[in-house]
Copies of this chain bind each other. A is one copy, B any other.
Amino acid sequence: MSKALFSLPPAIRKLAAELARMPSIGEKSALRLAYNLIMRGDDLALTLAEALVQAKQLTKLCRRCFALTQEELCPICADPMRDRKTLCVVEKPVDITAIEQGSGFRGVYHVLHGLWSPLRGMSPEKTKIPELLTRVRSGEVQEIILATSTTVEGDATALYIAREFNGSSITMTRLAQGLPKGGELEYADQLTLQHAFSGRRSL
């Protein structure tokens, strides 16, 4: 922190420092947010503080799929209308929100809370992969959709899980890779283009 900031009240400096710990909030934005939170006419600073404490205290992981929930089971696991034979495996709880908003998927989920990444010291045992294996082997799942991201670690994790079910009757699928809808060819990277070609479909 630069010297000039020491003319600020310590409580504001502390607030800005805490805000700057959030992802994608820089030191300058944090300071601007801190000023805004203290100077605005309403009580956002206090209602936000209350919401933070509440969310931290009330939220836990779903007993079955490890999504975030306030109950024993998340609303999706508790919903009798969801198709329990189709299981979508994702890395983070926020991925569920993205899929629910856009895909029309009506099955259930399993959140890994991490990817297999030897370089970062993430072994499969540090994720919810063991729980996934137990869940699938004792359950009614017929298809596993591996919806981890299309990074090296996302691919490796998908492959690791697929290999665990080698020889079983469970269908393993991976989300299609190719050009994004509305994406222009000239802006697509090489790997995406390779996937788009190798995965081309007849019309």
Beta-carbon contact of B46 and A15 below 8 Å: no
Beta-carbon contact of B18 and A59 below 8 Å: no
Cα distance A97–B12 in the bound complex, in angstroms:
12
A176 at the interface (CB under 8 A from B): no
Given contacts A14-B51, A14-B54, A49-B49, contact A70 B9 (CB under 8 A): yes
Cα distance A45–B56 in the bound complex, in angstroms:
7
A160 at the interface (CB under 8 A from B): no
Beta-carbon contact of A52 and B48 below 8 Å: yes
Q: Give the number of copies in the complex.
A: 2
A19 at the interface (CB under 8 A from B): yes
Beta-carbon contact of B70 and A35 below 8 Å: no
A39 at the interface (CB under 8 A from B): yes
Beta-carbon contact of A45 and B38 below 8 Å: no
Beta-carbon contact of B9 and A58 below 8 Å: yes
Beta-carbon contact of B11 and A55 below 8 Å: yes
A13-27 near B? 1/0 per residue, CB < 8 Å? 011011101111000
What are some 28 contacts across the A-B interface (CB < 8 A)?
A4-B101, A5-B101, A7-B96, A7-B100, A9-B59, A9-B70, A11-B58, A12-B55, A14-B55, A15-B48, A15-B55, A17-B51, A18-B47, A18-B51, A21-B48, A22-B33, A22-B44, A24-B29, A35-B93, A37-B52, A37-B55, A39-B68, A39-B93, A45-B53, A45-B56, A48-B49, A49-B49, A52-B52
